[in-house]
Structure 1
Amino acid sequence: MIPTAPSHDPIFNVPRCVVAVLAVLVLVQIGRELLPEEEDLWFVLATAFIPARYGPMGFELPGGETALFTSPVTHMLVHGDWMHLSLNSAWLLAFGGAVAERTGTLRFLLFFLVCGLAGAFAFYLANMDLMQPMIGASGAISGLMGGTLRFLFPALDSGGFRRLREAPRSIRLMSLQEALTDRRILVTSAILVVLNALTIIGFGAAQNSAGIAWEAHLGGYALGLFTYGLFDNVSAAKEELQAIDD
């Protein structure tokens, strides 16, 4: 029997680690608002992931040698404007909560980080000499989406979204082989690829005029889908499932 929550429970039960990530993103954006325009531009370029930073001219870019190592992480914390941040925050809330509840804080943060790094790496592979900066947590959030799919559809098959919100650890995790042959995941993945492909039609660059780095989206998503099983807190999930069965 699936446990049910009292009717007065909130619609969204957001784990503290997700709230903490959101708070950091908002604080960074607020801090940027307080900077003079030139200093803000320097800050963005110093924290952004710029593929050309790893070429001969890399040391001349804002951030210098240090940014070679920090920008693959810091680019996730900076967003173009409040609309960009709002959209990413909405997706983070949509896919981050169940993953965080299922994996725990440390695993969630590590998974988020690794997916973001995968997004940056995918962007680099496709644009090694590009001087255009990439910012935003889209790659990491796309990874959360990929990971969520591994237990989203089993949840829908055995309790629906309510179970996903109330007892995410009790949901069966799809094996990678099962996920890669599940029709629903394949269709979702195909739609994601098509939507991202549409962003580059007519632009001929990795990041179009709307600022969408599609490589980061697909790189993070693929990493999340393929590796989530390594981060999943399987022991906790089994314990909760056993408790429900008892």
Structure 2
Amino acid sequence: MLDLTDHHRPAPRQPVFNVPTIVTVLSLAMLVIHVLRTYVLSDDMDIEVLGLFSFIPGRYDPAAEFHLPGGLGAELWTFVSYAFLHATWMHLGINLVWMLAFATPVARRFGPARFLAFFAVTAAAGAAAHLVTHPDAMVPMIGASAVISGFMAAAVRFAFAPGASLSGRSLGNADRMPAQSLLEAFRDVRVIAFVGVWIGVNLLFGIGVSMPGAEDADVAWQAHMGGFFAGLLLFALFDPVPRRVRKAKTTA
């Protein structure tokens, strides 16, 4: 048998970052928005942007003494648009790192359309949790942390499943392996440990521990909780991968 391999031909290059296009687009959108707010817009214009696109619970208070710009439209779109705004470069950078880590496997699994829908639902769940716990607040809430929390929860549902990336016996198509049911997930010690640590960290934010890059602002940990539990509980509605077929047990 002849070896026809061209030993002088270089091996094909593998991409350094294998990030789905939709994750790259969303990350670039957040980056461009922050560049514009930081270097292009005046302070007055930036305040107007916050009034139009950040999530402000006081917007929904019928007894408020003044009305924020945007009307009914802003009452709807700010449930999602706040996730594209960030307080500082550190705040943005940390969120982008976590988003690349957790949104990437979720995007590979869901595909662009389901991924965007999941992004919107977890953002809205985070905003709703913040609204319930801060009904009259006029301080804007911004940042993608609630959405990233939702991606973390979604990843937990399939990353520890048999053959998946964190199962210990990862297969070639790890991000497309059938997910654990919610009951199976909460029987898995690794899942319980992950969720427990995540809740513990957010409770630290609740007692006043600052997040890097947001030392002068309160951490909206309730929004993190809203996004996380929405992602955990609603995952199956977005997951296109069929469940494992269980073999029925028979007795004679």
TM-score, structure 1 as length reference: 0.83
Partner of 2:156: 149
> Which residue, 114, 137, 158 being the options, matches 1:107?
114
> Which residue, 23, 40, 50 being the options, matches 1:44?
50
> Does residue 27 in structure 1 map to residue 27 in structure 2?
no
How many Å separate the matches in 1 of 2:158 and 2:219? Answer: 27
> Which residue, 89, 103, 108 being the options, matches 2:96?
89
Partner of 1:60: 67
CA contact (8 A) 1:144 1:224 kept: yes
Partner of 1:242: none
Q: State the AA in 1 paired with 2:15.
A: P
How many Å separate the matches in 2 of 1:21 and 1:60? Answer: 30
Q: CA deviation at 1:62?
A: 3.5
3-state SS, counterpart of residue 202 of structure 2: helix
> Does residue 17 in structure 1 map to residue 32 in structure 2?
no
Q: State the AA in 1 paired with 2:167.
A: D
Q: State the AA in 2 paired with 1:136.
A: G
Give the count of matched residue pairs: 225
How many Å separate the matches in 1 of 2:122 and 2:231? Answer: 6
Q: CA deviation at 1:145?
A: 0.4
Cα distance change, pair 9–211 in 1 and its aligned pair in 2 (3 A): farther
CA contact (8 A) 2:158 2:175 kept: no
Unmatched segments (≥5 aa) in structure 1: 1-5, 239-246
Q: Aligned-pair RMSD on alpha carbons?
A: 2.3
> Which residue, 76, 84, 87 being the options, matches 1:80?
87
Q: Which has the higher contact order (CA 8 A, sep 6+)?
A: 1
**Structure 1 residues 75-107: Cα deviation after superposition (integer angstroms, max 9, x where no partner):** 011111211111110011000111111111100
Unmatched segments (≥5 aa) in structure 2: 1-10, 245-252
CA contact (8 A) 2:159 2:175 kept: no
CA contact (8 A) 2:177 2:241 kept: no
How many Å separate the matches in 1 of 2:67 and 2:24? Answer: 36
* Stretch of structure 1 that moved more, 13-22 or 34-43: 34-43
Equivalence map 1:1-246=2 (5 Å) = 8-33=13-38, 34-55=40-61, 56-57=63-64, 60-154=67-161, 155=164, 156-160=166-170, 163=171, 167-202=173-208, 209-234=216-241
How many Å separate the matches in 2 of 1:48 and 1:60? Answer: 14
Cα distance change, pair 7–196 in 1 and its aligned pair in 2 (3 A): farther
CA contact (8 A) 2:130 2:222 kept: yes
Identity %: 38
Structure having the larger proportion of residues in helix: 1
* Stretch of structure 1 that moved more, 83-92 or 210-219: 210-219
TM-score, structure 2 as length reference: 0.81
How many Å separate the matches in 2 of 1:117 and 1:192? Answer: 20
